[in-house]
Structure 1
Amino acid sequence: MNGKGAWMTMALLVREKSFYKSFISLTLIIALQNVITIGVNLSDNLILGGYSEIALSAASLANQIQFIATFLMIGCSQSVVILASRLWGARQLTIIRKVIGVGMAFSLAIGVVTCVTVIGFSTELLSLLTTDELVIQEGAKFLSIVSFSFVCFAITTVLLASLRSMEIVKIGLFVSLCTLVINVSLNYLLVYGQFGLPAMGISGSATATLASRIIECIIVIVYVLKNNQSLGLTIRNFLKLDTSILKQYTQIAFPILISSLSWAGAMAVQSGILGHMGTSAIAANSVATTIFQFVTVITYASASSTAVIMGKTVGEGHLAKVKAYSRTLQILYLGIGLVTAIVLFVTKDHVLFMYAISDEAKTLALTFMTILSITVIGTSYEMPALSGILQSGGDTKFVMYNDFIFMWLLILPASLLAAFVFNYSPVIIFILLKSDQILKCFVALVKVNRYKWIKVMADQP
């Protein structure tokens, strides 16, 4: 199908009220959950930004390493959603429990390995991102504490993903709200040493993160046990791995995990490129990225809700609906992107007063957010189209190849040359680093509207 034909076909929107109700309700609840999650990161940035620019920069780089671990575990949970939502559509609850067990095993393995790796090599890992010794020392303090939270997050993210695949999403919102309250409160108390507590600086922020992760994990486990009559989860589900499910899960999960590792690693390299351009560039990138994450919650939530809706529809065997839904979703993504771009551009001048950073960092942050207000339109289309529609349809390998080619063969080489050979400014580097968000749109448009990504599992009824 050519480009003109694709757009003409996309004009035929779905008229089912149930589809829009499901998409909007799932997206809004997941978005609220994301708002709260980003609010935790924003509170960390604000409190550490008010404490010192060194602490803010150190936490920002440490979070890039933490991001790799969490992104891999999210990849495990995303694989659970793709497989379990199909089984939910086919109402195969027994097999869903086996999928959860396999996903949990993968996620816990990643959590434990990354925890041990980060504890043993925190200084060496941070040295890859910056040469500033003060930033490395502070970042190592942060990682030495926060790394223990990986195991808790491994459990929480898979359980919440499993519930989401069965369209149970309110518990995720509640958990995120608890995390926000606990994290913000402890950050304030421990970073500055309020009410007689020691002023721990960046170590206090890491302690707050660890405590909130432990508590949210306990809440989710208690919820699952309390509602076990309907969910039917037992310890046996996590001790005995079904080989047939393991094979299906691996086929879906492996490309997603490789893609997640590729993407998270690329984000770390991007931060490393900017990190070698000074603390102002690091701080500006941290501020701009945090605000960007905050205003794009609907975009990322739309991808998550798409995975549930499309996976369930494929599981029900309604392949004609899958095509119709994909056309409508693409229009919705573009609308979300335009609204998000306007919000980011309008609000960018009104958020920097919260940060105690240098004038140079503030100027860079404003410029970075202006660039993001343009590229976010592309992000809002290509990201949910590729990671939502394509992956839930069963074509997880294409996203893996696409991410690798764009990031590691095009964007990063060009940015490295621009930064270290041609010595371009941080602004030019930032534009290069974000250019893939526009370029991927053309690939997504063609791929999604050819419908070759719809794959029914061989063992699916």
Structure 2
Amino acid sequence: MSATPSTATPPAAGPASLDVFALAWPMTLKAIILHGTVVIDAYLVSALGETALAAMGLAAAVAGFVLGAILAFSNAMQLRTAQAFGTGDPVFIKSALACGMAISLTVGCVGLAIISLFGGSLIGVMAPTQQVADLAIDYLTVFSLVIVGEAIGQCLSSYFNGCGRTRLPLYSFCLSLPINVITSIVLIHGYFGLPAFGVTGAAMGSAIAVTVQVGFLVVRLWALDGYLRHVAGWRQLSFVATLRRHLAFALPIAVTFFSATFASHVCTLIYARLNLNEFAAMTIIAPWIMVAGTIGMQWAQATGIIVAQLLGQGQREEILDRFLRSAWRGAFVAAGVVAVIFLIVCLSASYLYADLDVETRTVLLSFLPILLVLPFPKGSNAICGNTLRASGDTIYVMHIFVWSQWLFRVPATALAVLYFDVSVFWVLSLLFFEELLKFPVFHRRLLRGDWKRAKIAN
């Protein structure tokens, strides 16, 4: 049975930006809905009052570290699967799936063990009251089922993305989202004769939803690639050797995502030392930067998937060059769309945030010059990073991200806010300057062309 769909056997001209779009739009929509789900869950729990909302936020913050680790390794799984899928080798494809699942489940189980041992104590220290702590622990206990489900679901989603079937993870999420909302409402408030579980009911709704989501993905995996269970052997001599090779590819990518998340948290804590209006403006714009920026980031990830598939096929350099030029042009279009979204948000601040102080809205509007230019170097750097990762150059990409964050953005933010008390405009500008710092080292490496000659042999 063949494992190679149309994306793995492109015509002589090779794939183009339309092929990237076909992969990117479901990934983008899924990511945007995922961010929106966090807002919906908080809204449902907010009806129970500040205590319940604080408990959910605290528990989610603790669980977020484990979910972040699972997501970090799933991003690596996506590219490794694309490499395997490009080769058309069933043994390689099976190896990528098995290794990715083993790592994801291990990360989830280790995370649950740490939460079990230290989560209660950590929540007890961080919670403002004992009531908040008790509710947070109850929520986290049930939410552990969600962590297990996400360990499986994120791995399968990344596998399907790497195979070019990006609509399947989107379908699974569209199926689970209304189930999450409906069951959470029923279980939180105790409708239809059921007990009112309060904030714990929100965790129950999420657990039910993720079970449905994983079930859908497993059924589709069985229908589309069930033949893999009959494939004998591993990419290396044994499963342990194959797992070690997979981990060597995945770990630098995972470290990059860990570092980015931690650096963002540190910077947010530093932003809290700004005056009230400036901090409020930064708090408002941060989710917009994350959600709107998803458009460019998913375009870059889709580009990386196709590059990995082409390298797995051993395509000629001229096809790789032609595809990347087309994808790069599309990346600038995506950056333009993101810039337009920022423009609309800033110019509509008086309507979107009418209840805020005039000074806060003025600060928000002052961000516009930076927000209009930020998506362009950020999108171009993302194309470089995902292309280099697809070729296996993961350690170099990790160094660029880690050192630009910890030798520039974090210390520069601390100096700007804590010591020099500069305008918040320049504090936000550090995001743009970080991209400029990464720009030459990313592009020089890409233009050198070694990535085109990478051999996906292991």
TM-score in terms of structure 2 length: 0.80
Structure 2 partner of 1:309: 306
In the TM superposition, 1:77-92 aligns within 5 A as: 77-92=74-89
CA distance in 2, matches of 1:199, 1:362: 39
Structure 2 residue 375 is matched with structure 1 residue 376: yes
Question: Which residue of structure 1 lines up, in the alignment, with residue 442 of structure 2?
Answer: 444
Task: Give SS of 1:146's match.
Answer: helix
The residue aligned with 2:21 is: 24
CA distance in 2 between partners of 1:368 and 1:61 (Å): 32
Corresponding residue number in structure 2 for 1:3: none
Instruction: Note if 1:268 corresponds to 2:265.
Output: yes
Find the aligned partners of 2:349 and 2:382 in 1 and give their Cα distance.
Answer: 26
Conserved in 1, the CA contact under 8 Å of 2:184 and 2:201?
yes
Which segment is superposed worse, 415-424 or 313-322?
415-424
Query: In the alignment, is the contact (CA less than 8 A) between 2:413 and 2:430 conserved in 1?
Result: yes
- Are the structure 2 counterparts of residues 202 and 396 from structure 1 closer, same or farther at C-alpha, using a change threshold of 3 Å? same
Cα distance change of structure 1 residues 35 and 246 upon mapping to structure 2, 3 Å threshold: same
Check 1:414–1:201 CA distance in 2 against 1; reply closer, same or farther (3 A cut).
Answer: farther
After the TM superposition, which of the residue ranges 31-40 and 281-290 deviates more from structure 2?
281-290
Structure 2 distance, partners of 1:300, 1:383, is: 7
- Aligned AA (2:384): A
* Distance (Å, rounded) in 1 between the aligned partners of 2:286 and 2:345: 14
Task: Please state how far the C-alpha of 1:124 moved relative to its aligned partner.
Answer: 6.4
User: d(CA) in 2 for partners of 1:283 and 1:122?
Assistant: 30
Moved more, 335-344 or 114-123: 114-123
| Residue 148 of structure 1, CA deviation | 3.6
Q: How many angstroms apart in 1 are the aligned matches of 2:233 and 2:253?
A: 26
- Residue pairs, 1:36-435, within 5 angstroms: 36-47=33-44, 63=60, 65-122=62-119, 137=133, 143-189=140-186, 202-232=199-229, 242-274=239-271, 287-320=284-317, 321-348=319-346, 359=357, 363=361, 366=364, 370=368, 372-386=371-385, 388-422=386-420, 429-432=427-430, 435=433
Task: Give the C-alpha shift of residue 341 in structure 1.
Answer: 0.9
8 Å CA contact 2:189–2:196 kept in 1: the answer is: yes
Contact 2:52 2:199 (8 Å CA) reproduced: yes
2:166 partner letter:
V
Q: Which amino acid aligns with 1:89?
A: G
1:89, distance to aligned residue in structure 2 (A): 1.6
Amino acid at match of 1:377: F
CA distance in 1: counterparts of 2:354 and 2:197, whole angstroms: 19
**Alignment-mate amino acid for residue 407 of structure 1:** Q
Which is greater in Rg? 2
How far the C-alpha of 1:334 sits from its partner, in A, is 1.8
Question: For 1:249 and 1:18, how far apart are their aligned partners in 2?
Answer: 27
Structure 1 residues 39 and 112: CA distance shift in structure 2, 3 A: same
Report the Cα distance in structure 2 between the residues aligned to 1:369 and 1:284, rounded to whole angstroms.
9
1:187–1:458 CA distance, 2 compared to 1 (3 A)? closer
Please say which of residues 241-250 and 275-284 is displaced more in the overlay. 275-284
Task: Supply the distance in 2 between the matched residues of 1:375 and 1:178 (Cα, whole angstroms).
Answer: 34
For the 8 Å contact 2:139–2:203, the answer to whether it is kept is yes
| Greater CA drift, 45-54 or 434-443 | 45-54
- TM-fit CA distance, 1:209: 3.0
2: CA distance between counterparts of 1:55 and 1:434? Answer: 37
After superposition, the CA RMSD in angstroms is 4.1
Closer/same/farther in 2, CA of residues 384 and 339 from structure 1, 3 Å limit: same
Cα distance in structure 1, aligned partners of 2:425 and 2:448: 37
When residues 246 and 298 of structure 1 are mapped into structure 2, their CA distance, relative to the original with a 3 A threshold, is same
Contact 1:27 1:305 in 2 (8 A): yes
Distance 1:198 1:359, change over 3 A: farther
**Which structure carries more relative contact order (alpha carbon 8 Å, separation 6+)?**
1
Does structure 1 retain, via aligned residues, the 8 Å contact 2:75–2:158?
yes
**3-state DSSP of counterpart to 2:450:** coil
Residue deviations 1:384-421 (CA, integer Å, cap 9, x gap): 331x2110122101111011111111111222333444
CA distance in structure 1 between the aligned counterparts of 2:27 and 2:313, rounded to whole angstroms: 23
CA contact (8 A) 1:156 1:220 kept: yes
CA distance in 2 between counterparts of 1:277 and 1:59 reads: 26
> Structure 1 146/348 Cα, relative in aligned 2: closer, same or farther at 3 Å?
farther
> What is the count of residue pairs matched by the alignment?
443
User: In the alignment, is the contact (CA less than 8 A) between 2:17 and 2:330 conserved in 1?
Assistant: no
Cα 1:134–1:362 shift into 2, 3 Å? farther
Kept after mapping to 1: 8 A contact 2:20/2:327: no
What does the per-residue CA deviation read over 1:201-239, in whole Å, with 9 as the maximum and x for residues that have no partner?
A: 6544444333322321222122223444445479999xx
- 1:296 alignment partner, SS class: helix
Structure 1 residues 124 and 331, CA, compared in 2 at 3 Å: closer, same or farther? farther
Shift of residue 450, structure 1, vs aligned partner: 1.9
Residue of structure 2 equivalent to 1:8: none
TM-score of the two chains, using structure 1 as the length reference? 0.79
Equivalent-residue separation in structure 2 for 1:207 and 1:406 (angstroms): 40
Cα pair distance change 1:353/1:118, threshold 3 Å = farther
Inter-partner Cα distance in structure 2 for 1:347 and 1:32 = 19
Identity of paired residues, percent? 21
Runs of 5+ unmatched residues, structure 2 = 1-10
**Using the alignment, how far apart are the partners of 1:113 and 1:224 within structure 2?**
26
Q: Which runs of 5+ in 1 are unaligned?
A: 1-13
